[in-house]
Amino acid sequence: MNTARLLAPLVLLALTTPLPASAAETKEIGYVNTAATNLGLTRSHRVVVERFDDPDVRNVSCYVSQARTGGVSGMVGLAEDPARFGLSCVATGPVQVTDAAKRGDRGEKVFESNTSLFFKETRVHRFIDEERGVITYLAWSTKLVDGSPYNVVAVVPIR
């Protein structure tokens, strides 16, 4: 048997499986199963909680919860995850905004996670509100739902 022929589908699967990507490193904190699929023979539908630290704001960690589709298509990365998520950010020490942090009304992308094989992502942008002394994080989906992307905001004071 030709080894290359056997490995080709596995390599294709690895290259097409969507993985979380971000400007900051993420860590999966945990998950809950929300519904069993295929009599428990494949991964269940779940809600996953991930943490990322803002790369240009010291001592701020953000937690994103996202629905993940189970079943065979979810296991191999072909399922489209729902465009629903939550966001909470917290100061874990004295907040320090570095000079590298972008300022302005367009903010800066600090996190993104693929939620389908093609063209759908959850993104988190950071906005610095120096007038009020806070950092605002906006999570939004690139998928339009009823004409508008799903979105949520979290705010951390700079002290």
Q: Which pLDDT tens digit goes with each residue over 32-77? A: 887 776 666 656 778 889 999 999 999 999 999 988 776 555 555 5
If you count them, how many residues does the chain have?
Answer: 159
Q: What is the pLDDT of residues 107-148, one digit of tens each?
A: 999 988 765 555 567 889 999 999 999 999 999 887 666 666
* Lowest mean per-residue pLDDT among 1-15, 31-45, 144-158: 1-15
Residues β-bridged to residue 90: 61
In-domain check, residue 40: yes
In-domain check, residue 151: yes
Closest CA to 62 of 108, 9, 134, 124: 124
In-domain check, residue 60: yes
Please, are residues 86 and 64 in contact by the beta-carbon 8 Å criterion?
yes
Angle at 67 between CA 155 and CA 114, to 5 degrees: 80
Domain that holds residue 136: 23-157
pTM for the full model? 0.70
Please, are residues 22 and 85 in contact by the beta-carbon 8 Å criterion?
no
In-domain check, residue 142: yes
In-domain check, residue 118: yes
Domain total of the chain: 1
